[in-house]
Amino acid sequence: MPRTVLVTGISGNLGRALAKQLHTETHVIGIDRRPFLGKPKDIEHHEVDLRKARVEEAFRHAEVEAVIHMGIMHDPRMPFSEAHSFNLMGTHRILDLCVRHRVRKVVVLSSANVYGPRPDNSNFLVEETPLMAADRYSDVRDLIELDMYAQSFMWKHPELETVILRHVNIIGPTVRNAPTNYLRLEVPVTVMGFDPMLQLIHEEDACRALVLALRPGLRGVFNVTGPGEVPLSAVLRELGRVSIPVPHFLLRPFVRRVFEARLVSFPPEEVDHIQYLCVVDGSRFAREAGWAPRYTLRETIRSVL
Amino acid sequence: MANGPLPPCYTSAMASQLLDAVRDGLREWTYALGGPGTRSRLEKLTPPRNEFGVDPYGFDAEYLVSAVAPLIWLYKKYFRVQVHGIERVPAEGRVLLVSNHSGQLPFDGAMIEVGCLFDRDPPRAVRALMDTWVPTLPFVSTFMARCGQVVGTPENCRRLLAADEALLVFPEGTRGLNKLFKHRYQLQRFGEGFMRLALETGAPVVPVGVVGAEEQAPALLDLKQVARLLSFPALPITPTLLPIPLPTRYHIHFGEPMAFQGAPDEDDEQLERKVAEVEGAVRALIARGLAERRHVFW
């Protein structure tokens, strides 16, 4: 375990869950432009935007041995230019500082959504699959650019162990993202006649995978999977939801309207996630890092309640 | 944590009860149509399944036993399928079944699979490779996935063959499926992908010749422009307008397994020779089937 780990985006729900796991084992420094509510005393927190030069202070204070970069914005309601600038400029600055301050390990939290749900997807996407998500939903291109930027960084700086983790849908009691918002709907809408397989990972397992990636010697791009694949209908049944199936040709215009009226946080393109397959092969991370989730499929699903 | 689903509301309980009743009814129909011993035979099918009853691809063996009932009816009563040499399909291990394709709607694939389930002991669940169009179709996509069908990408094939599964391939693809009536029993160009997979994974090829499907929906013309407009692969016009299959009698002939040696990246010429060998075997099976049958309909 590295002696000092810097975590970006630590004030988010997932960041706080990670901090909880990590701060008992090592010295944790946090960076986030939001305040860290309920911060444990031994965590040093810097409230600063990742794009600002002042971020370097966090690196000057202590000798940072490893960085977990999860300060990545996924909010479809933000203007695209803001998310794009935050994600790319922020990542650029952090990776740049890692080189200058001789950090030994960088773990970047990307997402399995960079592959995108598509009708012609193979059942299990490996890490080499082209990142095609933007082809159907262009507003995710910042996440793809970020992933590719981290990859090119990995090749340009062999002295640094870079790990890029592409997690499947992270869900859990504290996480608020598109999948958990959807699963928390009392009456979720489904696409009539479609029931794709889903992969879910519990937030604590997601954090455990990030910590596991700190292991010396590990570098590369890895899909991170949870306890298996399950049909969307089985997830909703497990949660006791009564879903309303809507034909896809009506659903998309409907979601567009309500999204534009700011009644829901799902852009119409996200309908693809409950219509087509975006399932990844997580065997490489399991093999090379010894990854195994602790939560069962049923526990993971129920964690959103 | 307690097991079992959480208490759903009243209407959904009714809906799920109704669904369960339909499922049970269909399952009983399957057992009745399959004849005595069907139940115990189908219980030999034990694909991996998680606590939600599916394998990682979404294949649900229980769903299959229910959903297959109308197809068995087609198999036994409508097309009155006769299979020849089904014991040549190996009981286990990776294998590629390579067949001719026809009939506008892929009932030939369904009948081969039903044959492997009901006329083979022990039954073998065969996975057919679907066109990328299928996952865009409501209901059909879900039905296909639960019955174990997958999109025919090379990655899927490699993975399934490595797991010692049986795959059904139509190397003619839609060229064969949507050909016109005047071209019946003329094999269209075979794609070569299956041969590369066979060489790469060392899977034997079992040639299959289907006789009967070629006459089920005689297409007089194919409105290609309109099809493109609707993003359909084809729009065949048959005497019944829609390609509803006629009750032709199917004869499915399975050939001896063929083993191929070579490198998967060998040049096209060598590969084509091997593909032609399989094509020849399929053609021979079709010729035999045509010679042996008495009539298109009985």
Greatest CA span in chain B, whole angstroms? 65
Which of A26-40, B5-19, B106-120, B275-289 comes out lowest in average pLDDT? B5-19
Domain spanning B19-292, CATH class: alpha beta
Name the stretches of chain A with pLDDT < 50. Answer: none
Residue B229, CB half-sphere, CA atoms under 13 Å: how many?
5
Distances (CA, A) of A45 to A6, A7, A26, A42, A66: 10, 9, 15, 9, 16
Which residues are registered as beta bridge partners of B207?
B98
Residues in chain B, overall count: 298
Domain spanning A4-174+200-228+279-294, CATH class: alpha beta
Residue B237: its pLDDT value, please? 80
Using pLDDT thresholds of 50, 70 and 90, give the confidence band for residue B2: very low
Give A49's contacts (C-beta < 8 A, 6+ positions apart).
A33, A55, A86, A90
Tens digits of residue pLDDT in A77-92: 788 888 899 999 999 9
Mean pLDDT of the residues in chain B? 88
Judged against a pLDDT cut of 70, whether residue B12 lies above it is answered with no
For the segment B268-275, the average pLDDT, to the nearest whole number, is 90
Two structure tokens written together for B2: 């307690």
Which of A8-12, A14-18, B8-12, B205-209 comes out lowest in average pLDDT? B8-12
Give A196's contacts (C-beta < 8 A, 6+ positions apart).
A117, A231, A232, A273, A274, A275, A276, A277, A278
- Alpha-carbon span B244 to B222, nearest angstrom: 15
Q: Which residues of B touch A234 (CB under 8 A)?
A: 52-54
CB contact under 8 A, B52 and A122: no
Nearest CA in chain A to B1: A299
Which residues are registered as beta bridge partners of A30?
A7, A45
Identify whether the C-beta of residue B206 lies closer than 8 Å to the C-beta of residue B254. yes
Using pLDDT thresholds of 50, 70 and 90, give the confidence band for residue B98: very high
Torsion sign (Cα): A280, A281, A287, A288:
negative
User: What is the domain partition of chain B in residue ranges?
Assistant: 19-292
When scoring B19, B139, B155 by the number of chain A Cβ atoms within 10 A, the one with the most, hence best to mutate, is B155
Tens digits of residue pLDDT in B233-264: 778 887 777 778 889 999 999 999 999 998 87
Distance of CA B203 to the CA centre of its chain: 18
CB contact under 8 A, A123 and B159: yes
Question: Angle CA(A78)–CA(A80)–CA(A85) in degrees, nearest 5?
Answer: 100
Residue A117, phi then psi, degrees to nearest 5: -75, 130
Please return the burial class of B115, using the count of CB atoms within 10 Å of its CB with bins 0-12, 13-18 and 19+: buried
Q: Which residues of B touch A121 (CB under 8 A)?
A: 151, 153
Residue B19, CB half-sphere, CA atoms under 13 Å: how many?
7
CB contact under 8 A, A242 and B50: no
Amino acid identity, residue A141?
Answer: R
Amino acid identity, residue B198?
Answer: A
- Kindly report the pTM of this predicted structure: 0.90
Residue A3: its pLDDT value, please? 93
User: What is the domain partition of chain A in residue ranges?
Assistant: 4-174+200-228+279-294
When scoring B9, B18, B51 by the number of chain A Cβ atoms within 10 A, the one with the most, hence best to mutate, is B51
Amino acid identity, residue B178?
Answer: N
Q: Does A77 touch chain B (CB under 8 A)?
A: no
Q: In what order do the strands lie in the sheet with A220-224?
A: A44-47, A27-32, A4-8, A66-69, A105-111, A161-167, A220-224
Torsion of CA A127, A132, A138, A140, to 10 degrees: -10
Identify whether the C-beta of residue A230 lies closer than 8 Å to the C-beta of residue A292. no
* Residues of chain B in Cβ contact (below 8 Å) with chain A: 1, 3, 5-9, 11-12, 16, 50-54, 56-58, 132-133, 135-142, 145, 150-151, 153, 155-156, 159
CB contact under 8 A, B155 and A239: no
Torsion sign (Cα): B203, B128, B64, B7:
positive
Residues in chain A, overall count: 305
CB atoms inside a 10 Å sphere around CB B187: 20
Nearest to A297 among B6, B50, B159 (CB): B50
For the segment B38-65, the average pLDDT, to the nearest whole number, is 88
Which residues are registered as beta bridge partners of A64?
none
CB contact under 8 A, A298 and B51: yes
Two structure tokens written together for B51: 């606590």
Phi-psi region of A177 (alpha: psi -120 to 50; beta: other; left: phi over 0): beta
DSSP structural state of residue B76: I
Q: Chain B closest CA to A132's CA: distance in Å?
A: 16
Residue B9: its pLDDT value, please? 52
Two structure tokens written together for A147: 């992933």
Judged against a pLDDT cut of 50, whether residue B1 lies above it is answered with no
Q: Beta strands of B59-161 (E only): which ranges?
A: 82-84, 95-99, 126-130, 150-151
Q: Chain B closest CA to A225's CA: distance in Å?
A: 12
Residue B266: its pLDDT value, please? 81
Give A96's contacts (C-beta < 8 A, 6+ positions apart).
none
Nearest CA in chain B to A239: B6
CB atoms inside a 10 Å sphere around CB A92: 15
